[in-house]
Amino acid sequence: MTTIELDFEIKHNDFDRAGSASSGLKNTLKQIGYPPDIIKRIVVSSYEAEMNVVVHASDGHLRAVITPDEVHVTVKDNGPGIENVEMAMKEGYSTAPERIRELGFGAGMGLPNIKKNTDELKVESFVPTGTTVDFIVRRSNG
């Protein structure tokens, strides 16, 4: 297997297409025979990062580089950025407004969940330019 690169657009507030980038990534990983438990960790993480763009940010992209050994995902948006990343990483911290909570988001568990499911995580954010969530899931911990 050679390197596969994917690039999906993420549309802010588009709840009809929300999650489509993560499903696209999942389909590719299934097709090439990635182990289901690894796929699950990757897709749980990419879904949380994708939904954060849909509910909190602006338009963005999900990019993935898939190799036989690991999957590297970068989710990048165009703002407004996160004021305090350290705080945002804490379980239960959310700024989601009522309208978003009614849709079932806003438990403040997305970023902690990504942390739990990945081998490496970097969250870089600038106000008001935007946020980049970058993570790696390795196929084996060897």
Sites of contact with Mg ion (CB under 5 A): 52, 110
Residue 8, beta-bridge partner list: 62
Spatial separation of the C-alpha atoms in residues 121 and 141, rounded to whole Å: 16
Whole-angstrom distance between the N-terminal and C-terminal Cα of the chain?
19
| Per-position b or e across 105-122, b if 16+ CB within 10 A of its CB | bbebebbbbbeebbeebe
Does residue 53 interact with ligand ATP by CB under 6 A?
Answer: yes
Contact flag: residue 74 with ligand ATP (CB under 6 A): no
State the nearest-atom distance from the C-beta of 119 to ligand ATP, in Å.
19
**The entry of ligand ATP, Mg ion, none that residue 73 binds, CB within 5 to 8 Å by partner kind:** none
Interacting positions 13-32 with ligand ATP (CB under 6 A): none
Residues that bind ligand ATP (CB under 6 A): 48, 52-53, 56-57, 77, 82, 88, 93-96, 105-112, 131
